[in-house]
Every structure is written in structure tokens, then in C-alpha cells.
């Protein structure tokens, strides 16, 4: 596969991938994001791209015209909209790698649009947080051209494994895992904060160590609080796609829907400034204390 690389979405993942792929592949990298047209932040975002040697495109059409590989890295709720926009402009033969956390049904809709335009849709299930792995984050690929694209990505040092030619398998693996991982995050936040409110954390948490001795529950708790505080909105969107995944399997997504609500609630607290000033070394107790202090009187 010859040609340039394009990133749709210049958020945390888009920035990491654009910088990493430029260094690993030696190819020109382009990016497009709605933020590039936002008068409040466009100058800062475009300047960031320029400093990294990334070409900030003015439109999806411009990015599609310049790219032989297009990577979609947006929030879950925008997965289908990006595929719809790209399908209007993508050139035949272009690879379209969808990194987004979306249900098998959503990925199938995206694949139909891209493939109908003569391009090659490949879904990716990104199996853990991109930091600290960067472009070497473990990914499962699905689609008719998954093996071919995996070979190209492996040449750039990426950890991309083809798992199926059928669209939906990779995303099902990812989304079912997300119910567990994001569910653990939600459970820890709710359990730890309640324990802190009752003053029983020093009694409760040691019982977790006894039951699951392989987990450092204090360190893991701090990590869970920090990630949800920082990315709760994005995680809530992913959990709604996980809920769609469960529903597409024929079950009521009771747990997935509740997890989405908890992440949304934490995101709301973050937007209200509840966690302002907490640094990377903050303990889970620091996050819990902020939530307790922000409680509304009944």
C-alpha cells in the first residue's frame, strides 16, 4: 500500500497515532477534525499539528483526496457520521481503518458505506488504553482486507492481529470486554466513595486484597478514578455502544446502561470542576473526598 496516511479525529488518540505513524512509516500524515474550524480552539489545534509535522486539512474531502490509508479515531457516538462523510469523498482502493469503540451493528453500517464507495473497510478493536502503548497498542482487525492491512501495520511496528473476515467479530470482542473493564471502573468508584463516606475503607479494601490478591486495589483504584474523571464522557459513549452490542445479541443491557450512567455522572462532576487541581499522583481517596464534598444536601 503506497500513499499518505490520514487521521479523522485529532483528539488524544488522533494526536498519538498521527505522531507515531509519521515517525514509524516515514509517510506524510494528514489530519481533519471539526476543531480545526472552531474559532475558539482552531489556532491552538492547528499549531499543535504543525509543530508535530502533521498537515491539518480543512475538510474531510481534502483529507480523503490525499490519503491511501484513513484512520477514524473519534468518539463512539460519531462513528457512523464519520463513515458517512468519508464515504462521500473516499477514493476507490483506499483503506479505511475504524478504531472507534462501536457495536457490531454500527460497524456493519459503516462497512457497507465505505465498501460501496469502492474502498476497503477494516474494523479495529483496540484492546486497552492507547497510552502508554501509542501506536503499538494491541488491536484486533476484522474485514475482508484485515490480513493485508495487518501486514502493513506490522511493518510499522504495530500490534495488529486479524481475527475474522466478517465485520463485527473484532468489535464484539472489544465491546464485551468493555462491559467488564468500564464496569470495574464504575464499581470501584461507587464502592470506594461509599466506603469513604462511612469511614470503612480501611476495613473493606483489605478484603478485596484477600479475595483477589493479584490486584493492587489502592493503585488500581486511583487509576480508575483518574481515567474516568478525565475521559468519562468518552467512556460513557463507549458504554452506550456496549449496550447496543448486548441488545444486538438479544439481551437487555441492564449493566451496560447503568455503567454508562455512572461514567456520565463522573464526567458531569469533572465538568463542574469537582476534580480541579488533582494531579497525576492523586490517590483514589483524593477523588472520593472531592465527590463527597460536592454532595447536594437532601
What pLDDT digit, counting tens, does each position of 115-146 carry?
Answer: 999 999 999 999 999 999 999 999 999 999 99
Q: What is the DSSP string of the chain?
A: --SEEEEE--SHHHHHHHHHHHHHH-S-EEEE-GGGG-TTTHHHHHHHHHHTT-EE-SSHHHHHHHEEEEEE---GGGHHHHHHHHHHHPPTT-EEEE-S---HHHHHHHHHHHHHTT-EEEEEEE-S-HHHHGGGS-EEEESTTHHHHHHHHHHTT--EEEEESSTTHHHHHHHHHHHHHHHHHHHHHHHHHHHHHHT-HHHHHHHHHHH-TTS-HHHHHHHHHHHHHHHHHHHHHHHHHHHHHHHHTTS--HHHHHHHHHHHHHHHHHHTTTTTT--TT--HHHHHHHHHHTPPP-
The confidence score (pLDDT) of residue 1 equals 80
The confidence score (pLDDT) of residue 168 equals 97
Place of cell 477534525: 33
Average of per-residue pLDDT across 154-175: 98
Task: Identify which of 188, 155, 166 has the alpha carbon closest to the alpha carbon of residue 263.
Answer: 188
State the Cα–Cα distance between residues 113 and 73, nearest whole angstrom: 17
What pLDDT digit, counting tens, does each position of 220-272 carry?
Answer: 999 999 999 999 999 999 999 999 999 999 999 999 999 999 999 999 999 99
Task: Identify which of 141, 122, 106, 83 has the alpha carbon closest to the alpha carbon of residue 245.
Answer: 106
- Looking at the chain, the whole-number percentage of residues with pLDDT higher than 90 is 98
**pLDDT for 111 beyond 90:** yes
Q: How far is CA 220 from CA 181, 225, 270, in A?
A: 12, 9, 20
What pLDDT digit, counting tens, does each position of 270-298 carry?
Answer: 999 999 999 999 999 999 999 999 997 65
**Rounded to the nearest 5°, which phi and psi values hold at 73?**
-135, 75
Peptide bond before residue 113 is cis, with ω within 30 degrees of 0: no
**pLDDT for 18 beyond 80:** yes
Q: Round the average pLDDT of the chain to a whole number and report it.
A: 97
The confidence score (pLDDT) of residue 298 equals 58
Average of per-residue pLDDT across 52-76: 97
What pLDDT digit, counting tens, does each position of 262-277 carry?
Answer: 999 999 999 999 999 9
The confidence score (pLDDT) of residue 100 equals 97
The confidence score (pLDDT) of residue 296 equals 78
The confidence score (pLDDT) of residue 146 equals 98
State the Cα–Cα distance between residues 273 and 254, nearest whole angstrom: 30
Amino acid at each position: 500500500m503506497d500513499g499518505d496516511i490520514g487521521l479523522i479525529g485529532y483528539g488524544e488518540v488522533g494526536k498519538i497515532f498521527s505522531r507515531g505513524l509519521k515517525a514509524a512509516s516515514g509517510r506524510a500524515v494528514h489530519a481533519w477534525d471539526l476543531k480545526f474550524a472552531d474559532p475558539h480552539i482552531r489556532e491552538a489545534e492547528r499549531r499543535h499539528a504543525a509543530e508535530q509535522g502533521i498537515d491539518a486539512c480543512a475538510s474531510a474531502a481534502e483529507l480523503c483526496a490525499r490519503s491511501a490509508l484513513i484512520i477514524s479515531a473519534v468518539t463512539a457516538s460519531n462513528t457512523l457520521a464519520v463513515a458517512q462523510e468519508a464515504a462521500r469523498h473516499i477514493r476507490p482502493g483506499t483503506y479505511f481503518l475504524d478504531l472507534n469503540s462501536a457495536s457490531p451493528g454500527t460497524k456493519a453500517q459503516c462497512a457497507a458505506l465505505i465498501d460501496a464507495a469502492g474502498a476497503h473497510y477494516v474494523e479495529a478493536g483496540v484492546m486497552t488504553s492507547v497510552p502508554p502503548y501509542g501506536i503499538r497498542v494491541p488491536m484486533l482487525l476484522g474485514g475482508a482486507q484485515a490480513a493485508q492491512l495487518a501486514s502493513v501495520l506490522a511493518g510499522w511496528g504495530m500490534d495488529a492481529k486479524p481475527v475474522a473476515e466478517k465485520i463485527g467479530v473484532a468489535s464484539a470482542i472489544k465491546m464485551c470486554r468493555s462491559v467488564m473493564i468500564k464496569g470495574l471502573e464504575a464499581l470501584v468508584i461507587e464502592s470506594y466513595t461509599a466506603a469513604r463516606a462511612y469511614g470503612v475503607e480501611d476495613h473493606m479494601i483489605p478484603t478485596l486484597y484477600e479475595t483477589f490478591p493479584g490486584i493492587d486495589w489502592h493503585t488500581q483504584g486511583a487509576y480508575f478514578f483518574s481515567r474516568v474523571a478525565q475521559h468519562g464522557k468518552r467512556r460513557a459513549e463507549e458504554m452506550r455502544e456496549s449496550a447496543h452490542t448486548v441488545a444486538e445479541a438479544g439481551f437487555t443491557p441492564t449493566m451496560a446502561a447503568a455503567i454508562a450512567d455512572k461514567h456520565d455522572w463522573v464526567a458531569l462532576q469533572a465538568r463542574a470542576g469537582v476534580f480541579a487541581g488533582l494531579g497525576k499522583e492523586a490517590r483514589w481517596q483524593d477523588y472520593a473526598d472531592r465527590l463527597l464534598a460536592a454532595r447536594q444536601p437532601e
